Homo-oligomer: A and B are copies of this chain.
Amino acid sequence: MKRFLKLSTIEEGKEIIKKFLEKIGWEEVDLFESVNRVLAEDVVAEMDVPPFDRALMDGYAVRSEDTYLADEDNPVILKVVGSIRAGDSPNIEVKSGEAVEIATGAPIPKGCDAVVMVEYTERDGDSVKIYQGVAPHENIQYCGSDIMAGELVLRRGTLLSPRDIGALAAIGRRRVKVKRRLRVALISTGDELIDPGKPLEDYKIYDVNTYTLAASIRERGWDFKFYGIVRDREEDLIRTVKRTIEDNNDIVILSGGTSAGRGDLTAKVIEKLGGEIHIHGMKIKPGKPTVIGTVPGRDGTPKLILGLPGYPTSCLTVFNVLFGGEERSIRGHFPLRYMSAKGRVEYLPVSVVRGSEGYTVYPILKGSGAITSLTYSDGYVVIEESKEILEDEPVEVCLFGNIKFGLSIVGSHCIGVDIILREGNIYAKTINVGSIGGLLSIKRGEGDIAGIHLLGENGEYNIPFLERYNVKDAVLVRGYIRRQGFIVRRDLPLETLEDILENIDKYKFINRNKGSGTRILFDKFLKERGIDRSKIKGYNIEAKTHSAVGMAVATGRADIGVGIETVAKQYNLRFIPIGEEHYDFLIRSEKLEDEDVMRFIETLKRVDLPFKKPSNCGEVIYKC
């Protein structure tokens, strides 16, 4: 049972979109409205910029030959025969031995061929002392030297930046022809979808694609109109698509549904409306179930109908691939092994970390069913159809629009870090990979700071692990002391550690991810007490953060979690302590002088945290 008989290539898809976009007409806009619009004309200058020879400095316009002998000790004295301000007419002719006071931007008077900067002059009534000679042409901006009449200033197709708009203003253009704003109709399809902001019904999910697409359309400077969530019935869909066409939209995008059958439905709608299907299935991962067709508009011009896949990550990826965008890329190293999709070009979302040796590129492996695959990625790596394995090799990362490298804080999650970042006003990317993950990232020279709390066999925190893992070129900065323990719902009859131990197989637990300090503590606890892991319900359910544990217990999804006291308080849950631990910061040595890192440590020392601070908080306690 194969639904996609002949998959089209990405190039075929892009070509259809490109041709369609080329046919969109132009409109004229005021210069104030022109930023980020696409120029629809070649702009040729009809005037020179500047339109006359003008002074580049405040000073005195002179005949340069008069000043050749001037120096600090032997100033040349010239007679000042006038003064020209910017905007004035230069109706003075300067003769030998004369000068004219001139302001920056003012026209150069006849007879002069240079301007002496005011800093090298001293005015004395009707005359001026010149303390430094000037060469011919010095400090003069000649007519047409910036832009010459007849020059092609901007080419059709330019995405107008403030700098481009400056050139348009300089040649006196007030209005420009730009590509018309595209009108895009958005239709969400799917019985399971609910609009964000409305209460979520059982077994429904919130509509995501409408919002990611709307934002992407806005980002491109286009207009959208949302036609609502339509149920999965052909008649409903046909009625809505008809309405979008009556409204004279250029493009209609259907998305939201996840089932493969929905692509067929889009195709059927296109056929029923007398349209043509160009693509039904595309060789791309994610995004195979993509449909592209056209339907005749009211006046006969074709309207593009796009059926995008339902998974948010697939949907947005296909949209971005088809409609292109800014193509900024960086090269980085892919340190792992990854098996790619056969027979399709794969767009693999990745996270980029800037280290001492360049960029390291990590795949984000949540799958296209997860929206956060994209949210937490910096871009993607394109793996060609013929390539099956990506392994320990350089890759090119196509970056998303607004990547921002701040501090890279890896390791264990702690709300203390959130507070420090907020209070210190430090921009950072936090990657919660647990204490061990953070330690390894610092060792590899990728992350800047890792928050770690690792209990060694000897009861000492963190330092034994730095030795065991042979970490180099890093320092350990003392952080704060946290109380770890069980986080328990208040309505349960569990008040002491003994209560828990006696009932350990009766309640639902929520665990932390492998490699997290809390997980190590919990495993050590179980081992010391001789408790069999398999007896613990929920042992394999892993939350990535303390807060997620708190929320799981607070909402009753679990009865007992393991985590820090602060979180138990935050969610008003019972806390049964297991012990105290040191949460410290492992920092790459070469980053210690970094402004943000210094501010981080300074903020750690300064602010109130909901944890106990030892007297040496913020100090380097170990160098490796």
Q: Using CB atoms and an 8 Å cutoff, list the residues of chain A in contact with chain B.
A: 1-2, 18, 22, 31-32, 34-36, 42, 44-52, 56, 58, 85-90, 103-107, 118-119, 121-122, 141, 144-157, 159-175, 190-198, 200, 202-216, 218-219, 226, 232, 257-261, 310, 312, 316, 326-328, 330, 366-367, 369-372, 374-375, 377, 399-405, 418, 421-422, 425, 427, 430, 543-545, 547-552, 554-555, 557
Contact = CB atoms under 8 A, between A and B. Distances in A.
B150 A202 contact: no
B400 A146 contact: no
A545 B2 contact: no
A149 to B, nearest CB: 4
18 contacts: A31-B211, A36-B402, A87-B192, A87-B193, A104-B259, A106-B203, A146-B372, A154-B375, A159-B402, A163-B212, A166-B208, A166-B312, A166-B316, A167-B371, A167-B375, A169-B208, A169-B210, A326-B404
B196 A172 contact: yes
A107 B203 contact: yes
Contacts of A166: 208-209, 211-212, 312, 316, 371, 374-375
Contacts of A165: 211-212, 215
A219 B260 contact: no
Nearest to A349: B163
Contact of A146 (B193, B210, B370): B370
Contact of A370 (B141, B206, B551): B141
A471 to B, nearest CB: 28
A229 to B, nearest CB: 11
Given A168-B196, A169-B196, 13 more contacts: A86-B257, A89-B202, A103-B259, A105-B259, A105-B310, A148-B548, A150-B548, A150-B551, A151-B544, A163-B212, A169-B212, A169-B371, A174-B197
A402 B58 CA distance: 35
Contacts of A399: 328
Contacts of A257: 86, 105
A119 B219 contact: no
Nearest to A231: B87
A367 B107 CA distance: 18
Given A35-B219, A191-B87, A192-B105, A167 B372 contact: yes
